[in-house]
Structure 1
Amino acid sequence: MASSALNKPTIPFSEPPYLSGLPSPYYNDSHYAWQKTCREFISAEFSEALAWEANGSVPSTLFKNFAKGNMLIPALPFPLPIKQLKEAGIHELPGGLKLEDFDAFHRLIYGDEMLRVGLGGVPAAITTGINFAIPPIYGYGSPALQKKWLGPLFRGEITSCLAITEPDTGSDVANITTTAKKSSCGKFYIVTGQKKWITNGIWAEYATMAVRTGGHGPTGLSLLWVPLTENDGKGLERRRIYISGGSTSGTAFLDLDEVKVPVENLIGEEGMGMRYIMNNFNAERLSVAIGATRTARVALSSAVEYVMKREAFGKPLIDQPVVRHRLAKAGVMLESQWAWIEQVMYQIGKLGKKAGDRELGGVTAMVKANSGIVLNECAQCAVLLFGGKGLTKGGEGETVEHILREVVVTRIPGGAEDVLLDLGVRQLVKIFKTKTAELEATRGSKL
């Protein structure tokens, strides 16, 4: 199928190589069909995305349309929770794609197509709760918790968010201070504290929330499934936060003062929250990296298209060596990043969840960190080549102007860039030392 597109002209850097007709070892006919399904659905639903972003909100029907079209499920991390999905009555995805056939590259394609709009806020308004808040429930929740909530969550009947970050606690998750203490009757956790920069938090009905049920440090953390809507004005206050980009993502400040949460809403076991959070981070970071890389592609290809027609000093800008050099530098970073993501997705597909988390945690952290660096280079390149139009909130350069403002929204959430780069190397060294020790122990046992 790839060869059929080989002779179709494609603006440089506008599509991943496999969509430009070039051969790839990763994609089969199922992937090409899925990509077409995703593009048709998402393009139609996001047709007014720029206007929504300018207004700061998406229509209430958007989430419902994704739910009705069964286009929320692909936002879940790979591998899909097939057993729980089938128990909820979901057996296939749009286009007739069976759950069993959904692989890491179907997930990659979905994430890539969701950000083809070039804006992070609109996709985040749809997928953040699905991608980040639900996995701990089907991964670690009790059978009763799963039975009660997974069906409505999968079907999009209720909305959710992930609430970890606090005003004074970002990447340092182990030092979260929001407390959850058992009530005297033993039927409730009483939650008190603050959560900040919570994506979708302004409208979500429930939150997967990190709380402190024990002493200091990581072993004192737990996860709770916290009702938000029913506690509005009853110990819970929400305030909207407007950030540099992604205004439609519904970022919020949550202030909790003795909010009651049923004890059966504990996710997994007390004291295991840090482990659950860390296992969830890999999927979150990879999702951010996929979206950021497509956004970088939107910015850079927009610049290429513009300089091919824009004339200055008597000739098109593309005829200027300095312009081509700037495009080439950004393009090298972009395509290298995409190839790295494809490599990691292939490895995840082969290793599986448990081995993938162990072997690829550090790599995934670095992939996410590098995606922000690449996005920054491509966005700055685009704005500089658009000139004054790249500074204007409207008109021909409005998309690249907006993308540049959203760069920091990629480089900070999910783990700040410098923290993740350091984490990546520490994890690689840790794996090396562990395997070296295991090898030496094996050799010693044979002496």
Structure 2
Amino acid sequence: MTSERFGEQIPFCEPHWYQGGYSPYYNDGHKKFRAVVRKFVEDEIKPNLDKWIKEGYPVELHKRSYELGIQGIIYPNEHGGTQPKDYDIFYELVMCDELARAGGGNVLGQSGINSMALPPIMIAGSAEIKKKVLRDVISGEKNICLAISEPTAGSDVANIRTTAVRQGDHYVVNGTKKWITGGLFGDFFTTAVRTGGEGAGGISLLLLEKNMPGVNVRKMETQFDNSHNTTFINLEDVRVPVSNLIGTENAGFKLIMHNFNHERLVLAAGACRAARLCYEQSIKYALQRTTFNKRLIEHQIIRMKLAEMARLIEALQDNLDRVAFQFKCNIPQQKLGGPCALLKVNASKTFEFCAREASQIFGGNSIVKEGKGKVIERLYREVRSAAIPGGSEEILLDLSIRQIAKL
């Protein structure tokens, strides 16, 4: 498919199919959806970004996104989604890419968390749970969070300590959850608990609700700007109906691992656009900024920085599209663990490189939260939020080879 030109036309500031290139992955439906999301970002997010970074974005923004056919596009229509007949995962990539163009701050970040916390329910939830949760979350009326990580178990999911002890028709849940994104927005929590013995075989998933006595959520301040929220959750004698079990008891670990592949794809898509945004900001600045009686672009060292950024971004984009195509072809999830792990590391490392080089190009303008370099300053502080959540780089690199060695 060839594409009419869309967006910024300086080479490499947009994916190649935005700039007239051929692509086997994207069609006219993706192009139309791309235009809808971009207009939404330009008209309704960017003008409010600085304010929302300080105060938090209004939760009603999810309803607006749903009305435009954005938030609901990744969900089946029978659950309230807004998928076109030709829906495939590349629609989700377009959405992640375009929303990331806002320039940091995690506005609408809850929509991404919803997309990570709902799949276990769609796959293994009872009809009762699906009725309670899916349509309201998809339409933006309510929100759901993924509550897995704990103070002593981040990437080491198999060693979570939060317990769920059955007492009659309820589980009594005790423990703590840390780094839970969107906790203040969450009406529901897809929560990993220990119902059995040690290790992965003793983990279950329970649906917790924010109004259950004993659920206490507080905000955690983070290194990066967060119009959304990162939270710490304390669970003290929370009584959860047995009917809120997602799937079967002690079979939650498989659902969590199945979900991680998708999470890493989504995180990679956002990091790819963030890296591209670093390049876009940098080359525009280099074409205008004058030092030593030359534009920055006339200095060879600056051109080399820009070329290295473009090289890595374009390779990452190809990697992203290739892995997404495997999802489209329904490749078994157990075969996607290694590719998704490497993709996510590739994305975070590319983002980190581009953020650093962009900061060097902008110089002093990149270390203040105002003026021409404020986007780069903001993105630089978001690098770690790409490198650690969803599995740290070290864990994921090891995972990709452990699977080969079957360790």
Q: TM-score range by the shorter chain?
A: over 0.9
Deviation of 1:9 after TM superposition, in Å, equals: 6.9
Q: Cα gap change, 1:370/1:204 in structure 2, threshold over 3 Å: closer, same or farther? A: same
Deviation of 1:429 after TM superposition, in Å, equals: 4.5
The equivalent of 1:368 in structure 2 is 344
The equivalent of 1:106 in structure 2 is 91
Deviation of 1:3 after TM superposition, in Å, equals: 5.3
Amino acid at match of 2:319: W
Aligned pairs for 1:256-295 within 5 A: 256-295=235-274
Distance in structure 1 (CA, Å) of the matches to 2:144 and 2:27: 34
Distance in structure 2 (CA, Å) of the matches to 1:40 and 1:216: 50
The equivalent of 1:340 in structure 2 is 319
- 1:353-396 CA-partner distances (Å, limit 9, x unpaired): xx341222111011001111000011111111001001111111
The equivalent of 1:441 in structure 2 is none
Aligned pairs for 1:406-445 within 5 A: 406-430=382-406
Distance in structure 2 (CA, Å) of the matches to 1:169 and 1:162: 14
| TM-score in terms of structure 2 length | 0.95
Q: After the TM superposition, which segments of 4 or more aligned residues of structure 1 sit over 4 Å from their partners?
A: none
- 1:34 aligned onto 2:33: yes
Contact 2:194 2:204 in 1 (8 A): yes
- 1:166-215 CA-partner distances (Å, limit 9, x unpaired): 011100000000001112xx121111000000000122111000000111
Q: Cα gap change, 1:105/1:203 in structure 2, threshold over 3 Å: closer, same or farther? A: closer
Amino acid at match of 2:383: V
Contact 1:49 1:122 in 2 (8 A): no
Aligned pairs for 1:381-396 within 5 A: 381-396=357-372
SS across alignment from 1:113:
helix
Contact 1:290 1:341 in 2 (8 A): yes
Distance in structure 1 (CA, Å) of the matches to 2:296 and 2:170: 66
Contact 1:161 1:199 in 2 (8 A): yes
The equivalent of 1:132 in structure 2 is 116
- 1:193 aligned onto 2:169: no
SS across alignment from 1:168:
coil
The equivalent of 1:20 in structure 2 is 19
The equivalent of 1:212 in structure 2 is 194
Contact 2:3 2:17 in 1 (8 A): no
Unpaired runs of at least 5, structure 2: none
Q: How many residue pairs are counted as aligned between the two chains?
A: 407
- 1:418-444 CA-partner distances (Å, limit 9, x unpaired): 1001111222444xx9xxxxxxxxxxx
Distance in structure 2 (CA, Å) of the matches to 1:111 and 1:5: 20
Please, which of 400, 420, 434 is the counterpart of residue 376 of structure 2?
400
Unpaired runs of at least 5, structure 1: 434-447
- 1:139-185 CA-partner distances (Å, limit 9, x unpaired): 111222223322222222211100000011100000000001112xx
Deviation of 1:347 after TM superposition, in Å, equals: 2.1
SS across alignment from 2:60:
helix
Greater helix content = 1
| TM-score in terms of structure 1 length | 0.87
The equivalent of 1:436 in structure 2 is none
Distance in structure 1 (CA, Å) of the matches to 2:236 and 2:53: 34
Distance in structure 1 (CA, Å) of the matches to 2:228 and 2:403: 31
SS across alignment from 1:190:
strand
Percent identity between the two aligned chains:
38
Contact 1:56 1:247 in 2 (8 A): no
The higher radius of gyration belongs to: 1
Distance in structure 1 (CA, Å) of the matches to 2:115 and 2:338: 20
Deviation of 1:34 after TM superposition, in Å, equals: 1.8
Q: Cα gap change, 1:89/1:63 in structure 2, threshold over 3 Å: closer, same or farther? A: closer
